C-alpha cells in the first residue's frame, strides 16, 4: 500500500516516520537515563541516610562501651550492678533510644539487662518471636552474638514492632549496632527504627518521578511543536520535489500516447529533476528525428526484403534444378561404375586369355627349336648320303659296266639326298622365319598382356573414382537439400520482415499524422 502512494506522500511519511522514531528513540534513552540517574540518586540518598544512622549508633555504643570499660577497671565491689543501673538509665533521641546488654551464651544468649522490659532480665532469649534477624528468620540475639564474636562489633537489621502513642504498630525495619565487651562477656547494643528513612526515600522518589514526568511532558510538547513545524517544512519540500516530477510524468505520458509536440514548462535548475526534464526534452526531439529515420529505413527495409524474397525464390528454384542435376549425376555415375565393373571383368578375361596365348607361343617356340634340330640332323644325313652316293658313283665308274647299274642307283640316291638337303634347307628357313615371328608374337603378347594389366589397374582406379563421385554426389544432393531447406526458412523470415516493415511503416504514419508541418520540417532538416 505504501508503494502505491505518490512521491509527495512517500516523502512526507518517510521523513516524518524517521523523525518520529528518532525522537522516540532519543526520548526513550533520555527517560531511561533520567530513571537510571534517579534510581542511582535515590539509592545514594538512602545509603547516606543509613550511613548517618549507623554512624550515630556506633558513636552511642562506643561511648557506652567506654563508660563500661572505665567503670569496670575501677574494680569496685558492686561495679557490675552499678554499670547495669547506669546504662539502663541512659537515653538518647528524645528519650526513645536506649541500650541493652546480653551475654554470649550458646546456643542462645541470656538477657543481662533490658531497660524497657525488665522481665526479660536473666531469661534465655530462645522464643520463636525473636526469629526475625537478617531477613532469614534467624534468632535475633543469636545473630547479635555471631556478629560480635566474629568482628568484635557489627550491625544487624531485622523487623520489630514499633511503639507509638496508640500502642504497638506493625513490624517495622530496625537497625541495631552491637559490640562485645570481652572482660564481662557482655554484648552492648542499641537500635533505631529506619522506617522514617524509607518514608524520606519515598518522598524523594516521588519528587524525582514528578520531575521526570514534567520533563516528559515538556519533551512531548517540544516534539509536538517540532513535528508541526517539520511537517510544514516537509510539506513544502515535498511539493517542490513532487510538482516537477508530476510535470515530467505528465510529459512522459503524452510522449507515450504519441504526442511528440508536447512541451515541458519547468524552471531551469541544475538538480536531478532539472536534469530529468532536460533529458526528457532531448528524448522527445531525438524521438521525433528518429521517427523519420525509422520511416526511411522501414521503407528501404521493406523494399529490400521484397527483393530479397524474390531472389530467394529464384535461388530456391536454382537449387531445385541443381539438386535434380546432382541426383542425375549420381545416377549416371552409378551406371558408369557398373559399366566400368563389367569392362573390368572383360579386360580381366582378355588378360587371362593373353596369358594363355603367351604360354602357347612359348610352347610353339620351343617346338620350333626342336624341329630345327631335327631338320639340321636331316640336312646332315642328306649331306652324308650325298657323299656316300658320290663315293658309290666313283666306285661304280671304276667297276665299269659291272657297276653301271649301281652308278644309276647311286646317282638317284645322290639326287634324292640333294633334294632332301634342299628341302631341309627350305624347311629350316621356314622354321627360322616361323620362330622369329613366334618370338615377335611372344613379345607382342607380353606387351599386350602388360597393357591389359595397366588397363585393368586404370579401370580399378576409375572404378574407385566413380565410387567417390557417387558418394560425393549423394553428399552434395543432401547438402543441397539442406541449403534448400535453409533458403526456405530464410524466405519465411524475409516474408515476416516484409510484413513487419509494412506494420512499422503504418505505426510510424500514426506519428506522422500528429503534426504534418513539423514532421515535414524535420524531414527536410534530416535530408539536408
Query: Three-class SS of residue 272?
Result: helix
Q: Which residue has the cell 624347311?
A: 427
Q: Rounded to an integer, what distance in angstroms lies between the CA atom of residue 109 and that of residue 196?
A: 30
Burial class from Cβ neighbours inside 10 Å (0-12, 13-18, 19+) for residue 132 reads buried
Q: Rounded to an integer, what distance in angstroms lies between the CA atom of residue 218 and that of residue 258?
A: 59
Together in a domain, 325 and 216: no
- Average pLDDT along the chain, 528 residues, taken 10 residues at a time: 68 76 83 85 91 96 95 80 94 92 95 94 93 82 96 93 72 93 96 88 87 87 84 76 76 77 68 72 78 72 72 76 77 79 77 77 76 80 83 80 75 80 80 78 77 77 77 79 79 75 67 52 46
Together in a domain, 186 and 328: no
Q: Rounded to an integer, what distance in angstroms lies between the CA atom of residue 231 and that of residue 13?
A: 9
Q: Rounded to an integer, what distance in angstroms lies between the CA atom of residue 429 and that of residue 368?
A: 11
- For residue 138, the cross-strand partners are 133
Which stretches of 74-180 are DSSP H helices?
A: 79-89, 140-151
Tell me what pLDDT residue 118 has: 94
Tell me what pLDDT residue 528 has: 47
**With helix as H, strand as E and coil as C, how does 281-325 read?**
HHHHHHHHHHHHHHHHHHHHHHHHHHHHHHHHHHHHHHHHHHHHH
Together in a domain, 487 and 353: yes
Together in a domain, 363 and 465: yes
Q: Rounded to an integer, what distance in angstroms lies between the CA atom of residue 515 and that of residue 523?
A: 12
Please give the span between the terminal C-alpha atoms of the chain, in angstroms, as a whole number. Answer: 53
Q: Rounded to an integer, what distance in angstroms lies between the CA atom of residue 132 and that of residue 117?
A: 18
Together in a domain, 91 and 189: yes
CATH number of the domain where residue 511 is located: 1.10.287.950
- 507 is a domain residue: yes
Together in a domain, 373 and 511: yes
Tell me what pLDDT residue 137 has: 79
CATH number of the domain where residue 44 is located: 3.30.450.20
- 465 is a domain residue: yes
- 240 is a domain residue: no
Together in a domain, 194 and 342: no
Q: Which residue has the cell 511503639?
A: 163
Together in a domain, 325 and 435: yes
As for how many domains the chain has, the answer is 2
Q: Rounded to an integer, what distance in angstroms lies between the CA atom of residue 368 and that of residue 427?
A: 11
Nearest to 112 by CA among 188, 191, 192: 188
Nearest to 413 by CA among 399, 392, 433, 428: 392
The grid coordinates of residue 46 equal 538512602
Q: Rounded to an integer, what distance in angstroms lies between the CA atom of residue 463 and that of residue 470?
A: 10
- 172 is a domain residue: yes
Tell me what pLDDT residue 527 has: 43
Together in a domain, 205 and 322: no
pTM recorded for the entire structure = 0.41
- 297 is a domain residue: no
Residue 211 phi/psi, 5-degree rounding, is -60, -45
Q: Rounded to an integer, what distance in angstroms lies between the CA atom of residue 282 and that of residue 343?
A: 84
Tell me what pLDDT residue 120 has: 94
* Listed residues 221, 248, 265: the one ending a domain: 221
- 298 is a domain residue: no
Residue 440 vs residues 136, 335, 351, 371, 373: alpha-carbon distances, Å:
153, 40, 18, 19, 21
Together in a domain, 321 and 466: yes
Tell me what pLDDT residue 362 has: 78
Angle between helices 404-512 and 516-527 (to 10 degrees): 130
- 282 is a domain residue: no
Together in a domain, 329 and 201: no
* Listed residues 221, 242, 258: the one ending a domain: 221
Together in a domain, 60 and 167: yes
Q: Rg for the chain (alpha carbons), in Å?
A: 76
List of residues 6+ apart from 521 with CB closer than 8 A: none
Residue-wise burial string across 138-169, b where 16 or more C-beta atoms lie within 10 A, e elsewhere: ebbbbbbbbbbeeeebbebbbebeeeeeeeee
Tell me what pLDDT residue 76 has: 67
Q: Rounded to an integer, what distance in angstroms lies between the CA atom of residue 526 and that of residue 283?
A: 17
- 203 is a domain residue: yes
DSSP letter for 94, please: T
Range of 24's domain? Answer: 7-221
**In the chain, what are the helix, strand and coil shares in percent, each to the nearest 5?**
80, 10, 10
* Listed residues 196, 221, 246: the one ending a domain: 221
Amino acid at each position: 500500500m505504501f508503494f502505491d502512494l505518490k512521491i509527495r506522500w512517500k516523502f512526507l511519511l518517510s521523513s516524518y516516520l524517521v523523525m518520529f522514531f528518532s525522537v522516540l528513540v532519543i526520548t526513550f534513552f533520555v527517560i531511561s537515563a533520567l530513571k537510571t540517574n534517579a534510581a542511582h540518586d535515590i539509592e545514594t540518598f538512602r545509603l547516606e541516610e543509613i550511613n548517618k544512622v549507623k554512624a550515630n549508633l556506633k558513636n552511642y555504643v562506643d561511648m557506652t562501651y567506654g563508660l563500661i570499660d572505665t567503670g569496670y577497671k575501677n574494680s569496685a565491689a558492686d561495679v557490675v550492678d552499678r554499670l547495669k543501673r547506669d546504662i539502663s538509665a541512659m537515653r538518647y533521641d528524645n528519650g526513645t533510644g536506649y541500650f541493652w546488654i546480653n551475654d554470649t551464651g550458646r546456643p542462645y544468649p541470656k538477657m543481662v539487662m533490658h531497660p524497657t522490659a525488665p522481665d526479660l532480665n536473666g531469661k534465655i532469649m530462645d522464643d520463636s518471636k525473636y526469629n526475625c534477624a537478617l531477613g532469614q528468620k534467624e534468632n535475633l540475639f543469636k545473630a547479635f552474638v555471631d556478629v560480635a564474636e566474629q568482628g568484635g562489633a557489627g550491625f544487624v537489621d531485622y523487623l520489630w514492632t514499633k511503639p507509638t502513642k496508640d500502642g504497638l504498630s506493625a513490624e517495622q525495619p530496625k537497625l541495631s549496632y552491637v559490640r562485645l565487651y570481652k572482660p564481662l562477656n557482655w554484648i552492648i547494643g542499641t537500635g533505631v527504627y529506619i522506617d522514617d528513612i524509607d518514608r524520606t526515600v519515598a518522598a524523594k522518589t516521588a519528587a524525582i518521578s514528578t520531575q521526570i514526568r514534567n520533563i516528559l511532558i515538556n519533551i512531548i510538547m517540544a516534539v509536538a511543536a517540532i513535528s508541526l513545524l517539520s511537517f510544514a517544512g516537509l510539506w513544502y519540500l515535498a511539493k517542490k520535489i513532487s510538482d516537477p516530477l508530476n510535470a515530467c510524468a505528465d510529459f512522459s505520458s503524452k510522449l507515450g500516447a504519441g504526442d511528440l509536440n508536447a512541451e515541458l514548462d519547468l524552471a531551469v535548475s541544475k538538480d536531478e529533476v532539472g536534469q530529468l526534464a532536460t533529458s526528457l526534452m532531448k528524448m522527445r526531439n531525438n524521438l521525433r528525428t528518429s521517427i523519420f529515420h525509422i520511416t526511411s529505413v522501414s521503407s528501404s527495409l521493406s523494399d529490400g526484403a521484397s527483393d530479397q524474397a524474390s531472389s530467394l525464390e529464384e535461388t530456391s528454384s536454382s537449387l531445385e534444378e541443381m539438386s535434380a542435376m546432382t541426383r542425375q549425376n549420381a545416377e549416371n555415375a552409378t551406371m558408369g561404375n557398373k559399366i566400368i565393373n563389367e569392362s573390368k571383368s572383360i579386360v580381366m578375361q582378355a588378360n587371362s586369355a593373353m596369358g594363355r596365348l603367351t604360354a602357347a607361343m612359348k610352347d610353339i617356340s620351343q617346338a620350333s627349336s626342336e624341329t630345327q634340330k631335327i631338320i639340321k640332323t636331316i640336312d646332315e644325313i642328306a649331306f652324308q648320303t650325298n657323299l656316300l652316293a658320290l663315293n658309290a658313283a666313283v666306285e661304280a665308274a671304276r667297276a665299269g659296266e659291272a657297276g653301271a647299274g649301281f652308278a644309276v642307283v647311286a646317282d638317284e640316291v645322290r639326287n634324292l639326298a640333294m633334294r632332301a638337303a634342299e628341302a631341309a634347307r627350305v624347311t629350316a628357313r621356314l622354321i627360322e622365319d616361323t620362330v622369329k615371328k613366334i618370338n615377335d608374337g611372344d613379345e607382342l603378347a607380353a606387351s599386350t598382356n602388360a597393357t591389359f594389366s595397366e588397363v585393368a589397374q586404370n579401370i580399378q582406379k576409375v572404378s574407385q573414382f566413380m565410387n567417390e563421385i557417387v558418394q560425393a554426389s549423394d553428399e552434395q544432393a543432401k547438402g543441397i537439400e539442406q541449403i534448400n531447406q535453409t533458403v526456405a526458412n530464410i524466405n519465411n523470415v524475409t516474408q515476416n520482415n516484409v510484413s513487419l516493415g509494412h506494420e512499422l511503416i503504418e505505426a510510424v504514419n500514426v506519428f506522422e499524422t500528429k503534426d504534418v508541418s513539423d514532421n515535414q520540417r524535420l524531414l527536410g532538416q534530416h535530408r539536408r
